[in-house]
Chains A and B, each alone.
Chain A
Amino acid sequence: MSNSPLTCQVAVIGSGPGGAITACLLAEAGRDVLLIEEGRNLPLESCPPFSHTELEQKYRSGGVTVAFGSPKIQYVEGCCVGGGSEINSGLYHRTPPDLLQQWQRDFKVIGLLEQDLLPHFQACETALSVGYCPGELPLASLKLHQGAQSLGWESREIPRWFRYDKSPSGELNQGTRQSMTKTFIPRALAAGCQLQAQTSVKSLHPENGGKRWRIRAVSQGKAVDIMAETVFVCCGAIQTPALLHRSGIKHNIGKSLAMHPTVKVVAQFPEVVNPPHVGVPMHQVKEFAPKISFGCSISSFPYLSLALSDHQVALNHVHTHWSQMAIYYAMITGGQGKITILPGFRDPLVQYHLTPNDLKALATALQKLCYLLLTAGAEILYPSISGSPPLTCFDDLNQLPQSLPRDRSNLMTVHLFSSCPMGEDEQRCATNSFGQVYGLKNLYIADASLLCTAPGVNPQGSIMAIAHRNALHFLGKL
């Protein structure tokens, strides 16, 4: 690689799961790769997980990001080397096989059925040590599982990308999340990939009749130009369409954003379910999947207080009762959004629309979740609907609305995708079945944007396997 302007064969923009895997496989195949990342290059251990320091260090806009609509939906994205993998819970799912069939049917995606993806799932699972928790499972998570079992609903422990090493005395440690900075990024660097952190790409410009790209970026306050023969855009489901729009590339880009709108409820149990320093909850209820799933969230004291901010009385006693409380969620697939660049502003405007049916589905999901939690022995439930009374018995469930109120519901999500869907249906898709942007030979997308629709499961497993497959296809190895 030479200086001014920097040149490389392949520029990978964004170092989340999509970008890290792409950069790693291309570097290992001998390509001259530059991995460009807007956020800082920090070790996984730079801050306690799920802390306010993590928000400051590793989240985009400090986590203060919202999709506008009625209701609005708060979302978060990672912004650091490793992207979302550095801040997430590590819950792993393969893409549901029937969903892959649906993508083949509706988007004309080729070569992406279960058997096509299997080797890529397996490669990522090995690289990230995906497996079940060998130690004691968090009580709050077990409560969800027990409630579901009593009702005969399908519930299971979800595997995670955690590695458990033994101490010299032979005991297993708490486990270390196998984020990108623990796995594919060190591998990429060892294979000669260069990493340029704290460098935000502003726009892409074709040169030489489209044979190479000029990448306009800002690195720690200074404008830099980078020349690359091929560019992979891996900035995540919001920032990838934003960058492409800023570069004048718009065909089916940023118009079909999907997410998993999520409603939460805090449950208080008579006994301790949430002792200090408890690990990530890992059970999910899949009885009503793919439309509806339930799970348990990180329930630290600050997150519990935040979740109870609509319930003044509970907020007053959370500091004495928080070990009896945990946050549970119900997520649905539904709604659609778009990403727009406002003239003169850097950050994209995200809008998301939920239909009346989506709001009904959310209300049904919340009702079922509350029913499960009461069955599991919860004494009080605090749904995240402003002005909603606490629920203490099964009869109280009738007080829950039949459809979530647009003006009082506090929704959030950590799962964003589908803003640049892939497939051979050029009318509907932004890229071909392997991530190549239509009409531009040497421009690819490799991140959550490619998923044709909301998967209904935690998405990183799908993002990684698809990035793995597409990188090998690019290298002619498939």
Chain B
Amino acid sequence: MLDHKAVGIAPDLLQHKEKVLSFVLAQYQRMPDFLKLPFGILTFCFNFWGLVTGGRFFIYLSASQQKKQIQAWQSSSLKISRDFIKFYESLVIFSGCSYV
């Protein structure tokens, strides 16, 4: 579900996938309450986008398809999509590097 190729970071940074995932989820829970709902909706849209473009929810796409989708959102003209990716990317990078 979380693959280093999809996130575009060195493989050893995702050695402790479970820990990284639980950190990311916990940080989502901690974020200011007025941001949680919009982020929850965006996360749902992001997952759903995989179904529209790749025939499966994002979490079930192959690593290369996931990477494509991340890159598409990263370079989107919509700032909100870029910010969304940046948020999750920052958490994954920071926690991934912390657990190495």
- Flag whether A312 is at the interface (Cβ < 8 A): yes
* Contact A62 B33, beta carbon cutoff 8 Å: no
**Hey, which chain A residues are within 8 Å of B8, CB to CB?**
312, 315
* A52 partner, pick from B13, B30, B79, B95, beta carbons under 8 A: B95
Residues of A within 8 Å of B9, CB to CB, are 315-316
Chain B contacts with A in 41-93, Cβ cutoff 8 A: 79, 86-87, 89-90, 93
Q: Mark B9-48, 1 if CB is under 8 A from A, else 0.
A: 1101100000000010011001111110000000000000
A410 CB to nearest B CB, Å: 8
Overall SS of chain B's interface = helix
Contact assessment for B34 and A309 in the assembled complex, using a CB-CB cutoff below 8 Å: no
Q: When chains A and B are docked, how far (Å) is the Cα of A312 from the Cα of B10?
A: 11
CB-CB < 8 A to A64: which residues of B? Answer: 27, 30-32, 35, 87
B96 / chain A contacts, CB cutoff of 8 Å: 305
Within 8 A of B (CB), among A339-364: 342, 345-347, 349
> Which residues between 28 and 87 of chain A lie within 8 Å of chain B, taking CB atoms?
51-52, 55-56, 61-62, 64-65
| Cβ distance B6 to chain A, nearest Cβ, rounded Å | 14
| B31 close to A61 (CB less than 8 A) | yes
Residue pairs across A and B with CB atoms within 8 Å: the count is 65
Which one of B8, B95, B98 has the greatest number of beta carbons of chain A within 10 Å? B98
B23 to chain A, nearest CB (A): 6
**For B79, what are the chain A residues with a Cβ–Cβ distance below 8 Å?**
407
List chain A residues, Cβ under 8 A from B23. 52, 56
Residue of B nearest to A350 (CB): B32
Assess A301 versus B100: contact at CB under 8 Å? Given A52-B23, A61-B30, A346-B33: yes
Contact B34 A349 (CB under 8 A): yes
List the B residue with the shortest CB-CB distance to A302. B97
A246 to B86, CA, bound (A): 32
Provide the bound-state CA to CA distance between A62 and B33, in Å. Answer: 12
Q: Give the shortest distance, in Å, between A365 (CB) and chain B (any CB).
A: 23
Q: Is A250's beta carbon under 8 Å from chain B?
A: no
Cβ–Cβ < 8 Å partners of B94 in chain A: 52, 302-303, 305-306
CB B48 to nearest CB in A, in angstroms, measures 24
Contact residues of A with B, CB < 8 Å? 51-52, 55-56, 61-62, 64-65, 301-303, 305-306, 309, 312, 315-316, 319, 342, 345-347, 349, 407
Q: A-contacting residues of B (Cβ < 8 Å)?
A: 8-10, 12-13, 23, 26-27, 30-35, 79, 86-87, 89-90, 93-98, 100
Which 4 residue pairs spanning A and B have beta carbons closest together?
Answer: A62-B30, A347-B32, A302-B97, A52-B98
Q: Could you name 15 residue pairs across A and B whose Cβ atoms are closer than 8 Å?
A: A52-B98, A55-B27, A64-B27, A64-B30, A305-B97, A306-B90, A306-B97, A309-B86, A309-B89, A309-B90, A309-B93, A315-B93, A316-B10, A319-B10, A347-B34
